[in-house]
Every structure is written in structure tokens, then in C-alpha cells.
Structure 1
């Protein structure tokens, strides 16, 4: 008899965690598992990439009303006789406006958001909250399952979360999965009583799929000028990704006489800030915010350098993809950088400041031999991680 699995995720709009889930779902043996997916939003660029076997669960009416703009939401909820839920909607808005940091804001808002969400009326063999915070909280409180698993995709200590809040949920999980050994060490140190629950399952990437998609668009996606280097970064337009540092670096590269265009694939709440910063530094002809791309692989393939200027990461799936496409890679020295890049062999790891990043990128642009050596080494590696799905099967029992 097939086992029933539920995955919980806020959305499939963008991001490494979202791409990682789609990759995982593409590898599941649907002869052995029935898979439901609960999303808080049914919009997003990765929705069309879901395997047809995945059943996306509907959202309840009270949640749909709750997520309307504040005044409209309160009117609808009061009109439908849900005064208590209208109060929760008001307090949810207050929490969002008075809590600056994203992590504590999501933790503080959960109890109000939770009141709008019904429990899922189905018993599962396993429920998997595939992203830290809300996905795990929903999995614990709103799902009936024999086993419950929570996934943490980042360096926990850099997320700004309150461990005293999360321990109440981690206590109720059977397993806590994270994406690198360094992230696992951080979780075990932060939650020593949960030490035995922590497991590492690397993001699933398929070289065969990535190389196929990379060749789908053979035209020049960058429209580059002669002699112009193309740098690419991928990530949410969020403070974590360090794009402000990338722009500061770009200013240094211009001052040093380099001809380049730096493209950023991603979307987020920092778009306006970054656009203003690009203009303030006179870099409109050098930086391009490309928005979301359902297929980023032609952009990776055609870039000269892949750069990740993040402040912290769990395990950046875009770096794994750049490795598969044999790109010269530069990353800042965030806590898990060495989990992904062997410095000087698979790419360059540099200090987290514009001088060091500019020096590293300048070196890659100036020395063709280094670019070729890095690319050749990566081309010889076996980089697929499809077998990671077996680790999940072991946890499911």
C-alpha cells in the first residue's frame, strides 16, 4: 500500500528552498507514495514545474479572507460573523508593522495567522515542513501524521529567530533535516537536546536536467558588448544575499577600468533600494536586475563568472548549479562557504568586503588560465545528488 506524504511550503514563487522542493518532488517514486502539497500561495514561477502526480490542496475560505488587504479583510471577516478572526487579522498587521526583523516577525505573527488556517482533514504517514518557520509550525499544529519532519535551509544562527519559540515545535518533530554539515553543527549546538534528530540531506540537483535546460536557449541572453565580461548572481533581493556589497564591488571594478555587466536573477523587497543604489553609484550600464527566470540555466551557462556575495547561506543551490555548468565561481566567506567550494580548486572564497570581492573578480577576469583551470576541474566532477532522496526514504521508514 502506498504511503501518504504531505509537504508544506509557503509558496513556489522563487528561491533556493522552493527550487529544492521542486527538484525533490521530481525524484520521488510515485509508485510508492501519494503526495499532497500544502501552499499558502498558489502563485509562483515554479508551480508549472510540479510533477503531475502532486496534489495541491485547496485553501480554506477564512484564510483567503484573512490574506486580503487589512480593511477589506476585516470587513469581510466581520461580515461573515468572524469577529475573533478579524481581531487576529488586525493584530497580525500590527505585528508585521512593529517587528523589523523577518524571522521574529514571522514567529510573532504565526499565532494570528494560524487562527485562519483549518487543520487538514486527512491522516498522513509523514508530514514535512520543508522550510523553517511557518511551514514547520503548520506541520506541527495543523496536520495529523505518524511522523513529522522539519527542514531548515539556512544557518539557523543567522536567521535572527528566537530559539525559545522554535524549541516548542522542534520538540514535536521526529526529525530535523538541514542541507549541510555546517548547518547541522549549528543546529546541534543551538538545540543540544534535539541533537539526535538532526540529519543532513543535500539539495537535490540533476546534471542531466540542468544541462538540458541550459541548452534550451542558445541565443545570447545577455546581448553583451565586445570585450565585456558577464557576471551573474542568483538570489532573492533580500539583505541576506549581499547585493549591496555586489554594487559596491561594481563601483570598484568600474574605477579599475573593467568592462562588465553584472546580472542578478531574483525578486524581492529590496528591488527599489538596490535600484536606487545602482543609480547613486552611476552603474546603470553595468548592473541589471533581471527579475525571476523560470529557466535560469542559459544565463548561468553563458556567464563568464558566477558570484555569490551572500552574508549567510545554508547551502546555496545556485552554486551547485553553477558548478554543474562548470562556471568560474566566486563566493564570500559566509559560514557554510567551505561546505560548497574548495577554495582555489572549485572556485574562489574571498572576504566579505568590496575590496576583496573586487580583487577576486578582477583576478578571474584578468587571468584566463585560472578561469579555465576552475572550469576544467568542475567539468570532471560527479556533481549529481539525485541519490539524496534515499536519505529521505530512510527517515520515512
Structure 2
């Protein structure tokens, strides 16, 4: 029996976490003894973890990555707090609109000397969420595999640091063909290491959860209802969604409402933007939901206004529920949606999002056609795990 270690940050509500739950639920435990290393035992999805995967105890030092610098100091981890502060200062010089990626890299780089190594040796070690420094530098394994869930060609990272880290892995798994293509555009020397294994989806689970009789205000709203499920971050483009709805209202579209299930650090700014446009009654934040599917079920249209994605888990789940979807034309979009067939790909801009929504809002025939195609598609893909077993 092969000894496998899987690592990730926590089990907060999110697409990566949902895909991890699905992978662990479909793993072959007859042939693999699986340990799961979560830096923080937190998040609404903790109770969804498969009992066959042995959850390792929290390690105090790694827990700090989900704490503030102040709380890290209070826990007595002064060197790790100093490393975090140094990383924050260095990343502040970055002129990119999103400094978080480089800050995460620097945080790990400066923290590494103060982080403990794993106390077991494994046959296979899988790092499920970037940055992959724990598996790369703190775990001894015969084979190491790293997962990528985003479009790396669009995010600002320290390439030299990245290449040194990627060099520690035997294989790199991308969640879509587009995700792989964008990755090797940035790191062409790694092309031979990268293969595609799509996120594992369970149509039965999504459908059953959508059928739960959860009371929500969308049921009482008779307007044309849009829904988005996402974390509130620059990448997900919720600000673009708010501005697009403003354009639609200015165009005279009155009977439309946009609901968002999610949470994140950008919420206060997004709420201010909603208020400045006078959209408080039509752009509605539903908060964090462990089960977003009853809300998806009530919607007329699912919209993903992202600036970049690897492969959006929520888009696939909306398709499982037979919802017409609109996604922006980020580089990996065509890996998930065939325009006009099982969804609609709009221009990646505020105007493009507004135009895409307006076309489907006014074209019921197109909405029905896309919905029918989605309902008639089998999204079950547990066979994808065979690719993982092959390289393992």
C-alpha cells in the first residue's frame, strides 16, 4: 500500500476546497494510505472530509499562515511574524494591482528556516494549493506532485523563486487544458512536467444539495435573477459585475437582480461601490454559504465575471444544474465553455459583461438551448483520477 500525503491550507468555502473534497471522496483507499495535512483545521468544509483520509494534527508554526501578524506575535512566533512583515514590505514595492502572490512567495521564503519538517517519509506527496513550499522543501517523498488551479500567465510572481520551487516536483497537474497552456507560456522549460487532470465533479451530490429545501429570498424575487458564487478578490472581478449591472440599469433594464454568494477581504469596498451606484436593492450579497446550490437553482443565469481562472468549479456546477452561464474571455475560458453551445463567453470588460448578460436576458431561446445542452451532458468525470494513479 502506497503512503500518500496531501497538503492544503484549510477548508474554508471555495472552489479549490470543494474540488479537494471531491478528489478525497473518490480516492482509491484500498491501494493508498492517505494522510491529509491542513495548515489550519478551519472552515465550513471540515465536516465534508472523507474519514478514510487521516487528518494530521495541526502544526503550530503552519497555523500562523492563517493568522494576522499581530496574532502570530501573541502566539509567541516572533520569527515567523518578522518573516511575514518583511514579506509584506517587500511586496509593497510591487506595482501590480494584486500584490498577494509575491507576498505569499516571500512569506514562505523568509519563513522556511523556522518551519518544521514533516516527521514521516512518503511514497507520494501532493501539494494541492500554491504556493507549494511545504511539500517542496519540508517533506521527504519518492515522488512529488503539485496542483495548479489558476492562470499563471496573468498573475505577477517572482519567476526565479517559482522555478526553484517547481524544480522540486516530478509532476505538475493543471485542472484544464487552458490552465496548462497558460502555465507553460510563463514557464516553457516546465512543459514536460505538466499534465491535465480535471477537477472531480459529482453531479449527484450537486443535484441533491440543490434540492435541499433551504429558505432564501431568491424564491420570492420575481425579477430576472443572476447569481455568482465566488470569493471577493481582484481575480474574481466582483467589482466588474457591479459596474456591469449599473450599465444595464442605465440602459433601462429594471427587472433584474444580481445575487452573490461569497465572502472575502474586498467586501467593504464592494459594498461602497454598490452604494455609490444606488444598487443596494438589486446587487445583493448573500454571504458565505456552505451549500450554494439552492441559490444557483433559483437563478435564471450564472455569471462568472473573473479576470482570470484556471477552471472555475462553480461554472461546472451551474452547468450541472442546467443553468445558462456567462463567463468572461479569460485565457482559459474555452477549456470550460463552448460559446453558444453550453455557455456564453463575453468580452473581458465591464461593457462585455453587460452586453453578454443583455443578450441572454433578451434571448430566451438561446437560454433554453444552452440549458438543454447542459442538462443533457454527463459531467461525471471520476475517471480523471486514473491519470493520477498512472503517474503515481
Equivalent position SS for 2:29: coil
Residue 192 of structure 2 aligns with which residue?
Answer: 196
Specify which of 227, 230, 249 is matched with residue 244 of structure 2.
249
Residues 350, 143 of structure 1: alpha-carbon distance in 2 compared, 3 angstrom cutoff: same
Equivalent position SS for 2:373: helix
| Match status 1:317 vs 2:313 | yes
Residue 341 of structure 2 aligns with which residue?
Answer: 345
Count of residue correspondences: 385
Residue 364 of structure 1 aligns with which residue?
Answer: 360
The separation in 2 between residues aligned to 1:3 and 1:317, in whole angstroms, is 29
Specify which of 81, 86, 89 is matched with residue 81 of structure 2.
89
By how many angstroms is 1:196 displaced?
1.4
Equivalent position SS for 2:218: coil
Residues 63, 328 of structure 1: alpha-carbon distance in 2 compared, 3 angstrom cutoff: closer
Cα pair 1:66 1:89 within 8 Å, conserved: no
Unaligned 5+ segments in structure 2 are 93-98
By how many angstroms is 1:219 displaced?
4.8
The separation in 1 between residues aligned to 2:320 and 2:284, in whole angstroms, is 24
Residue 111 of structure 1 aligns with which residue?
Answer: 109
Residue 294 of structure 2 aligns with which residue?
Answer: 298
| Match status 1:186 vs 2:178 | no
Q: Which sits farther off after the overlay, 117-126 or 356-365?
A: 356-365
Q: Which sits farther off after the overlay, 66-75 or 370-379?
A: 66-75
The separation in 2 between residues aligned to 1:277 and 1:374, in whole angstroms, is 32
Equivalent position SS for 1:364: helix
Cα pair 2:178 2:334 within 8 Å, conserved: no
Residue 47 of structure 2 aligns with which residue?
Answer: 48
The separation in 2 between residues aligned to 1:67 and 1:324, in whole angstroms, is 33
Residue 81 of structure 1 aligns with which residue?
Answer: none
The separation in 2 between residues aligned to 1:240 and 1:291, in whole angstroms, is 18
| Match status 1:147 vs 2:143 | yes
By how many angstroms is 1:144 displaced?
1.2
By how many angstroms is 1:45 displaced?
1.5
By how many angstroms is 1:223 displaced?
3.9
Equivalent position SS for 2:385: helix
Equivalent position SS for 1:239: coil
Residues 72, 375 of structure 1: alpha-carbon distance in 2 compared, 3 angstrom cutoff: closer
Spell out, residue by residue over 1:29-70, the C-alpha distance to the aligned partner (whole angstroms, 9 max, x if none).
212211111111111111111011122211234455787654
Residues 280, 147 of structure 1: alpha-carbon distance in 2 compared, 3 angstrom cutoff: same
Residues 65, 320 of structure 1: alpha-carbon distance in 2 compared, 3 angstrom cutoff: closer
TM-score (norm 2): 0.93
Cα pair 1:180 1:315 within 8 Å, conserved: yes
By how many angstroms is 1:258 displaced?
2.6
Structure 1 segment 64-143 matched on structure 2, within 5 A: 69-70=68-69, 73-74=72-73, 77=76, 86-100=78-92, 101-133=99-131, 136-143=132-139
Cα pair 1:67 1:73 within 8 Å, conserved: no
By how many angstroms is 1:295 displaced?
1.0
| Match status 1:275 vs 2:274 | no
| Match status 1:260 vs 2:256 | yes
Cα pair 2:228 2:303 within 8 Å, conserved: yes
The separation in 2 between residues aligned to 1:70 and 1:276, in whole angstroms, is 27
Residue 378 of structure 2 aligns with which residue?
Answer: 382
By how many angstroms is 1:380 displaced?
1.3
Cα pair 1:221 1:302 within 8 Å, conserved: no
Specify which of 219, 227, 236 is matched with residue 231 of structure 2.
236
By how many angstroms is 1:330 displaced?
0.7
The separation in 2 between residues aligned to 1:328 and 1:124, in whole angstroms, is 44
Residue 211 of structure 2 aligns with which residue?
Answer: 215
TM-score (norm 1): 0.92
Equivalent position SS for 2:184: helix
Equivalent position SS for 2:143: strand
The separation in 1 between residues aligned to 2:234 and 2:65, in whole angstroms, is 28
Residues 31, 66 of structure 1: alpha-carbon distance in 2 compared, 3 angstrom cutoff: closer
